Structure 1
Amino acid sequence: MTREGPHIETDAIVIGGGFGGCNSLYKLRNLGLSVKLIEAGSAFGGVWHWNRYPGARVDSETPAYQFNIPAVWKEWNFSERFPGDEELRRYFQHVDDVLGLSKDTFFNTIVIKTEYNPVSRRWTLQTNTGLTATCKYVIAATGSSYKKHYPQFKGLETFKGTLVHAADYPASLCVKGKRVGVIGNGASGLQIVQTLAKEDCELNVFIRTPCFTVPMRQRSIPPEEAEMMKGYYDGIFDRCYKSASGFAHNTRFQSAHQATPEERKLLFDELWARGGYSFLVSNYYDFLLDEKTNGIFYDYWVQQVRKRMTNPEKMDLVAPLKQHMFIGTKRPSLEQDYYEMIDRSNVTLHNLKQSPIVEFDASGVVTSNGESAKHHDLDVVIFATGYDAVTGSLMDLGITDKNQNPLTEKWKSGVLTHLGLMIPDAPNLFMVYGPQAPTSLANGPPFIEMEVDWICNVIEKMQREGIESIEPTHQAAEQWREQVFEASQRTLYPKTDSWYMGANIPGKRREPLVWLGGMPSWWKCCTEALEKWDGFHTSS
């Protein structure tokens, strides 16, 4: 329900109703604070409220992909190893039913200004509904995947067919008998393609960079098995908190070069058959650090993919024998039957590196290889082009610091945070799932829980010590940015253009947006900073 009102006064405002926002509201209320949550959508769920495209499904597996709150999981069992979007929306409704989050939430409300008053030492937020709020603490839990990215093609406004973004997929869209184009080849793109390929339609898949994806090995989970697993939840979640990526998978502290080809093949086969992210997180640790090891992984992957296809031209585009990318440096995805589906006769693949889209017109798109142009008639075009990830949603909050400097100006020369949790000159403003933290390279719920716990620890420490506000020093933030860059440079990630590096949005600064040093090292820095407020200004 949307509630409009002239003004509210409260201790804390949480922006965003996904995992981060719900967790923040729940735990801050438990501290005895008065808290309100502002959510753009009509229900909780974050990205799972918005994602309703065909085949939408999480690729972090249960039971680690959920709130570690016994009152919530006691009466809930997921039905699949990797839940789909509909089940995840039901899960968030269950979370609300148990924790009573709606009573403190304003739905269908978008924050448009977030301004700090250095005299009152309070934040004032303005929204699109006319509601304003004043608070001591702001928790920006807007997530990495909210602000949709639409490529600016020439003539796009002239297209007379149906144009949709994956994050705004209409339930009424029927593709039967239609000529459909899918632009974008990331997680949402491949899920849409492997689903729509089964429909009675002509599917055109426009590929600039082939995706890297490994088998999901989806399966149903009987209720009795789900109940049995609850006896291991403490161990599973504890393992998630202590792992480099927030997953409970086994890890292997061995270089691929320390194993024989035969040993590598045995391990690869085992992890490939296991499915999910096992092939990456339980494998030789150095595939993201060493080009030769990455090449070994690629050679195995490409053979596994090609044996599932029959069309040699399609094989050469999506899985060329010569390595064309460093595995894992773009967001890895999980698939169920993607390669069999794109091999079907009703699916046509278009190589955008050879013949990019030059314009739209009323009836489709035109591609050109520089010598000749070709028109592709389309009734429906689906943009699976992702988001202005990690920073985009924060930039839209209209954040202005204590010196009246907008965040959009502060970060023009690069993102500057301390620990990926706070921003200089922005007292008592915290970020959840924001830039320069493990964020998009961690299993979301356990990592988010750690961030929210740190925020709660900060507020409790402030209350004990009579501190009114804290903010990171510029020196600490500059040092953290250097650490973020150094951690990135030790990996292969900078060698690839990806949204991890801010490289998917034209004009966006290319820089590492995610902490690549693993969760334990990040958490150590967080806990040490809290001991004596190292790197922070405090004000009583």
Structure 2
Amino acid sequence: MSPGAPPASPSPPLSLDILVVGCGFGGIYQLHHFRKLGYSVKIFDAASNLGGIWYWNCYPGARVDSEVPNYELSIPELWKDWTWTEKYPGWMELRQYFEYVEEKLDVKKDIQFNTRVVGATWDEEQHEWLIEAQARMNPTGASTTVWVRARFLVLCVGFAAKPYIPNYKSLETFQGILHHTSQWPQAGLDLHGKRVGVIGTGASGVQVIQELGPEVSQLTVFQRTPNLALPMRQVKIDGDSVMNSKDSRTEMYEQRRKTVGGFFYDRHHRRGPEATPEERLAHLEQLWANGGLRFLHQNFYDLRMNQELNDEVYEFWRRKVRERIHDPIMQEKLAPTIPPHPIGVKRASLEQNYYEVFNQPNATLIDLEECPIAEMTPQGIKTADGTVHELDAIVMATGFDSLTGGITQIDFKGVDGGSIAEKWKNGVHSYLGMTSAGFPNMFFVYGPQAPTAFCNGPTCGEIQGDWIIDCIKYMATNQLTRIEAKVDAEEHWRQKIFELSAQGLWGKARSWYMGSNIPSKAVEPLNWAGGVQAYNELCMEKAKRGYEGFVLSGRP
């Protein structure tokens, strides 16, 4: 058997031009365009249906934090006839959107569901990847190994593909219901009237807490860091809403590539000190009234660079939030006098009634900085003070090994036989946030060292998707079969990531933006902080220069 051959099997590996991993926004966008170009392409996805993260996110309250029509694909066949019903769609409407995508684009015929890619090995002789996947067979649940040979491997696994569950002592002894938010039962759970504990107050924690708070008998929230959540200002919309207007839609899609955050709107053109205190206050009041991520993305240009301005904005936020919380002790826990970190340097969560939940008599907040979790018991959670909080269900809103985990959990072996997990163990090395030296013909979108966490998802997926599509077209036109990033190019890119991050306040927070939410993970900036427009222009410039920073070749 040759080094690049799979073990003997009844049938030869499936042969493709391109294998895409993941059928969320990014994967479907590329599948659609690759098919139009005539390539043989398939998607493998571990889920049982379309949607990517919106297949897995079905926990109570799950919904998107980008307002429509920002959060959709720009493919004309899709937006011309689709109508949203909410400014911020929930998971059920997003699933309906993906079913509409299927109706219009017929993507499922080229998607193999219930199939998890577990490894891939680069074949230098053939200039292609040998990919191993495990396909789950329904209804037995047994799995079978699937082998694929593909010239190109495109990873669209998303930034949150690897859930993180802390290694709590005696976790396995808990006798009640326990689920991570990303592993919620597809059939749902009835938690009405139960005693529920929620560990974590990040984005999913906020959504779960405000959804379950009014219906459970007891809600116990275990908080490490207060969430500086922003008002969503959710509204129902209909076909006559400006958010569903088809006028100038194409121009709007172009505009979102020219802003800092990948939205139709952009940061304020002035820096904070250029405005008077009265002007700053008036601007903050307007943003607060508008709601959503605009409070950060339309704020003053230097919000995340100027500590004095950031403190002023935090104080504004704190006053607004405290007005909604009755108990002074709870006010300090949820909106502390001293900022836990600069506002805007962790993922912003949008809320509708999050703070009001803590006015309810059935809600308890445990500050894990003061009293950490000691262990799990059969009855619930025991904290360091010896108290056992008896619970019927525990919700793990503990986040993800974000940006890198979805990639490193797959055993990719590159030109030297080493894995990408080994390469990135002490820090990420990529080029353009889409490739990595030693792993030819492998691309990834919405991953590390790109604008990922600082960009509207579909915008980032389409910018990177277009670049990858054009790159593969260029290679086919020029009879090229291999592309690999240069080591010095990715070193320069890594340095640029660090330089851009150092211009802001990002390092003052413990967050997945920096990898610091995962024990033993390298703490470093994991996102391009220079804005979406600058990123897009730089990537396009490298392509126009004959893919500067890469080595391209054909088969010998």
Residue of structure 1 equivalent to 2:190:
174
Return closer, same or farther for 1:226/1:104 CA change in 2, 3 Å cut-off. farther
CA distance in 2, matches of 1:501, 1:517: 16
Residue of structure 1 equivalent to 2:141:
none
2:285 equivalent to 1:285: no
CA distance in 2, matches of 1:535, 1:173: 51
CA distance in 2, matches of 1:529, 1:111: 30
Residue of structure 2 equivalent to 1:443:
456
Q: TM-score under structure 1 normalisation?
A: 0.97
Alignment of 1:489-500 (within 5 A): 489-500=502-513
Residue of structure 2 equivalent to 1:143:
158
Name the SS for the 2:16 alignment partner.
strand
Residue of structure 2 equivalent to 1:162:
177
- Which runs of no fewer than 5 residues in structure 2 stay unpaired? 1-9, 136-144
1:7 Cα deviation from its structure 2 partner: 2.5
- Asked whether the 8 Å contact 2:84–2:244 carries over to 1, the reply is no
Alignment of 1:231-250 (within 5 A): 231-250=247-266
Name the SS for the 1:203 alignment partner.
strand
Select the residue among 107, 113, 117 that pairs with 1:107: 113
CA distance in 2, matches of 1:241, 1:520: 6
1:248 Cα deviation from its structure 2 partner: 0.9
CA distance in 2, matches of 1:343, 1:508: 37
Return closer, same or farther for 1:200/1:538 CA change in 2, 3 Å cut-off. closer
- Asked whether the 8 Å contact 1:6–1:131 carries over to 2, the reply is no
CA distance in 2, matches of 1:100, 1:383: 36
2:394 equivalent to 1:381: yes
Return closer, same or farther for 1:249/1:5 CA change in 2, 3 Å cut-off. farther
1:227 Cα deviation from its structure 2 partner: 8.1
Summarize deviations over 1:469-517 as a string: whole Å, max 9, x none.
Answer: 1111000000100000111111100121100101111111111111111
Give the structure with the higher percent helix. 1
Select the residue among 12, 30, 46 that pairs with 1:24: 30
Name the stretch that deviates more: 252-261 or 225-234. 225-234
CA distance in 2, matches of 1:262, 1:345: 39
CA distance in 2, matches of 1:461, 1:386: 39
- Asked whether the 8 Å contact 2:223–2:367 carries over to 1, the reply is yes
CA distance in 1, matches of 2:50, 2:443: 20
- Asked whether the 8 Å contact 2:68–2:243 carries over to 1, the reply is no
Name the SS for the 1:110 alignment partner.
strand
1:424 Cα deviation from its structure 2 partner: 0.5
- Asked whether the 8 Å contact 2:231–2:351 carries over to 1, the reply is yes
- Asked whether the 8 Å contact 2:151–2:441 carries over to 1, the reply is yes
CA distance in 1, matches of 2:376, 2:220: 15
CA distance in 2, matches of 1:326, 1:485: 19
Q: TM-score under structure 2 normalisation?
A: 0.94
Name the stretch that deviates more: 359-368 or 45-54. 359-368
Return closer, same or farther for 1:135/1:251 CA change in 2, 3 Å cut-off. same
Residue of structure 1 equivalent to 2:407:
394
Name the stretch that deviates more: 121-130 or 293-302. 121-130
- Asked whether the 8 Å contact 1:205–1:350 carries over to 2, the reply is yes
- Which runs of no fewer than 5 residues in structure 1 stay unpaired? none
CA distance in 1, matches of 2:250, 2:81: 16
CA distance in 2, matches of 1:63, 1:176: 34
Residue of structure 2 equivalent to 1:324:
340
1:226 Cα deviation from its structure 2 partner: 5.7
CA distance in 2, matches of 1:352, 1:427: 44
Residue of structure 2 equivalent to 1:508:
521
- Asked whether the 8 Å contact 2:69–2:244 carries over to 1, the reply is no
Summarize deviations over 1:284-307 as a string: whole Å, max 9, x none.
Answer: 111101111110110000000000
1:316 Cα deviation from its structure 2 partner: 0.7
Residue of structure 2 equivalent to 1:536:
550
What is the identity percentage for the equivalent residue pairs of Structure 1 and Structure 2? 40
CA distance in 2, matches of 1:452, 1:324: 37
Residue of structure 2 equivalent to 1:48:
54
The AA in structure 1 aligned to 2:176 is G
2:287 equivalent to 1:271: yes
1:341 Cα deviation from its structure 2 partner: 1.4
1:405 Cα deviation from its structure 2 partner: 1.3
1:228 Cα deviation from its structure 2 partner: 5.8
Name the SS for the 1:288 alignment partner.
coil
Name the SS for the 2:169 alignment partner.
coil
- Asked whether the 8 Å contact 2:239–2:245 carries over to 1, the reply is no
Residue of structure 1 equivalent to 2:95:
89
Summarize deviations over 1:83-136 as a string: whole Å, max 9, x none.
Answer: 000000110111111111111110000001111100111101111121111010
The AA in structure 2 aligned to 1:161 is G
- Asked whether the 8 Å contact 1:161–1:379 carries over to 2, the reply is yes
1:156 Cα deviation from its structure 2 partner: 0.8
Return closer, same or farther for 1:261/1:5 CA change in 2, 3 Å cut-off. farther
Name the SS for the 1:373 alignment partner.
coil
- Asked whether the 8 Å contact 1:5–1:132 carries over to 2, the reply is no
1:176 Cα deviation from its structure 2 partner: 2.4
